[in-house]
Structures are given as structure tokens and as C-alpha cells.
Amino acid sequence: MVISGTTKIFVIFAHPSEQVRAPTLFNEKFYEKGIDNVMIPIDVSPLNLATCVQSFRGISNLCGGVVTIPHKVEIAKLCDKLGPGAKATGAVNAVRFDENGTLYGDNFDGVGFVAGLKDHKHSLWNKEILIVGAGGASRALASELVNEPIKCVKITNRSSDKAKEVVQIVKSVRKTDKIEWVPREQVNFSTFDIVINSTSLGLKLNDPLPIDVKMLGRDCVVCDIIMKPEETALLSAAKQAGLRVHYGKHMLDYQISFIADFIGAFKA
Ligand code: ATR
């Protein structure tokens, strides 16, 4: 589709923007579907983000877009309205310019993660789930998992105050009791059906393992949210121990369609 006067514009806010995958993914889909849309990378520094967003509010054919590093937290503060994923995480990875320029943001890491699990036939019915780590990703996953028919999700973390904060936020955003904090030394790893690493351990080659796979039950599914390397040391150890694994890349791959719906990208 050639860009014309009728083309609708979508963007990705990034800094830098060389590594972003969204424009290629979305533009290929626009082409395949014959939709008169375009997604362009916006490489804007944190210093200029607010001015940039403000000026975009007045552009009637600029519909919204994706938000990535380092803007996810700052752009949440510029939004007029936040969806549940953004409220739970304090971070936004998709924004939509609604009529009269109001900015609506949400975070789809949690829905992407859950959709990926389901599509890989990992049932959530009555499952006991452990999330190790208490950063933004932990919040996103926990706040979505409690919406599923799970038994419970437990959060453990090196710093217990951050784990307690995740529990408190998810309880208040989702009005649920299916989440609790467990001190690290009291975690009984063998009881969990699904264990998720949401710490940054595994990003670097020499990182210690976030979880000792020998302590897990034989039917446990081990998940990582780290995307690079695709096969983290944790997942490799889990596979060697004969456990099922679930890769970090699925969280991103499975949220693209949710983001597209939210920003209205694939509407002809
Ligand atoms: P994100 O927002 O991407 O989830 P983050 O906020 O930086 O990332 O959170 C990183 C998580 O990895 C935290 O839970 C952190 O534990 P602390 O809250 O105690 O800092 C965890 N983490 C990082 N390095 C760790 C280490 N060496 N041992 C244990 N946990 C670690």
C-alpha cells in the first residue's frame, strides 16, 4: 500500500529505535491485509517525550502506537486514562489517541503471557503458580493470572517489600485474594504446577540460576520472561531435568494481536 492522503499513522515510541520489531511486523500485516495504515518508528529522547506526545494529540490521522524502552513508565504519567494492565504495572506498552486527543494507555505483557501459555496447552485450571521476582513484569503477569481459574499465585523476591507491594497492587486493582507473598526461605518449590522467573537473572551469561530446578515437582512447567537469550540457563537446566518449559519470547509474540485491537491497527 502506497502512503497517501488517506493513510492512518501508527507509531512506536523508542530510544533508540534501531532494534524495534513492531514497524516491520505491523507494516507487513498492513500490506498483507491491504489496509491503508503505516507504522513509523519515533526515536525520541526521554527529555522530549512529553513535548512529542503533546504535539501528536493534535494530529487527527495519528491513531496510536506501541511504547518501548525507555518510555514505558514515563508515558503512563502522560496518559489521561489507564487500562488495568497499566494500573497494575505503572507502565504502558501501547497507547491510543482517542477522539479529541485524549491518550489511553495499557500494558499487554500479562495478557500476552497468559495467551502464550494457553496456546501451548499449559492449563491454568486450579494451578498453583509461583512468580520469582517483583519488578514490572511480575506485576503484569500476576495481575493477569489472577483473572484465570487458577488456585493461587504466590510471589517471592530477594527484597520482600517489593513482593508485598506487588501483592497489594494486584489485590487492589483486581479485587482478588488469589495472590500472596511468600518469604524466599519458606518457598516449598515442589508444590507448584507453574514456576515463572521474572527476575533479570539469566540475561547475563554468568548469572546464577534464579530457581534450583532440582527442587521442582516432576510435572512443573518452568517459564522464563527473558527473551534474549531465548534459551536461558534456567530453561536449559529445566529441560535437562525433564521438565516442560515455556519461552520468554511468547509473551511478546502473543500480545501483538491484543495491542493491534487496542490501537485499532488492523481495522480496514
Ligand atoms: P522488570 O521491571 O523488567 O521486571 P526490575 O524492576 O528491574 O525488572 O526487576 C528485576 C527483578 O529481578 C527484581 O525482582 C529483582 O529483585 P529485587 O527486587 O530484590 O532487586 C530481581 N533480581 C535482580 N537481580 C537479582 C539477583 N542477583 N538475585 C535475586 N533477584 C534479583
Model confidence pLDDT, tens digit, residues 237-262: 999 999 999 999 999 899 999 999 99
What number is the average pLDDT over the span 84-112?
Answer: 94
Ligand 1 centre from 202 Cα, in Å? 11
Task: Identify whether the C-beta of residue 109 lies closer than 8 Å to the C-beta of residue 255.
Answer: yes
How far apart CA 153 and CA 131 sit, in angstroms, is 7
- Has domain 110-251 been given CATH number 3.30.413.10? no
Q: Which residues pair with 83 in a beta bridge?
A: none
Active site residues: 72
Task: Identify whether the C-beta of residue 107 lies closer than 8 Å to the C-beta of residue 92.
Answer: yes
116: pLDDT strictly greater than 90: yes
Ligand 1 centre from 209 Cα, in Å? 13
What number is the average pLDDT over the span 191-199?
Answer: 97
**Nearest CA residue ID for atom 18, ligand 1:** 159
Q: Which of 200, 228, 232, 251 to mutate to test the pocket of ligand 1 (most atoms within 8 A of CB)?
A: 200
Number of other CB atoms surrounding residue 206 within 10 Å? 5
Domain ranges of the chain: 8-108+255-263, 110-251
What is the pLDDT, as a whole number, of residue 190?
A: 98
Give the count of alpha carbons within 13 A of 166, CB side only.
Answer: 31
Instruction: Specify the CATH class of 8-108+255-263 in words.
Output: alpha beta
Integer Rg of the chain from CA = 19
Ligand 1 centre from 226 Cα, in Å? 12
How far is the CA of 205 from the CAs of 19, 101, 201, 226, in angstroms? 21, 45, 9, 12
Same fold, 8-108+255-263 and 110-251: yes
pLDDT tens per residue, range 41-97 = 999 999 999 999 999 998 999 999 999 989 999 999 999 999 999 998 999 999 999
Query: Model-level pTM?
Result: 0.90
pLDDT band at residue 21 using 50, 70 and 90 as cut-offs: confident
What is the pLDDT, as a whole number, of residue 245?
A: 98
Average pLDDT of the chain is 95
Type and span of the H or E element at 163: helix 160-174
pLDDT band at residue 228 using 50, 70 and 90 as cut-offs: confident
268: pLDDT strictly greater than 80: no
Give the count of alpha carbons within 13 A of 265, CB side only.
Answer: 30
pLDDT tens per residue, range 137-172 = 999 999 999 999 999 999 999 999 999 999 999 999
How far apart CA 165 and CA 139 sit, in angstroms, is 9
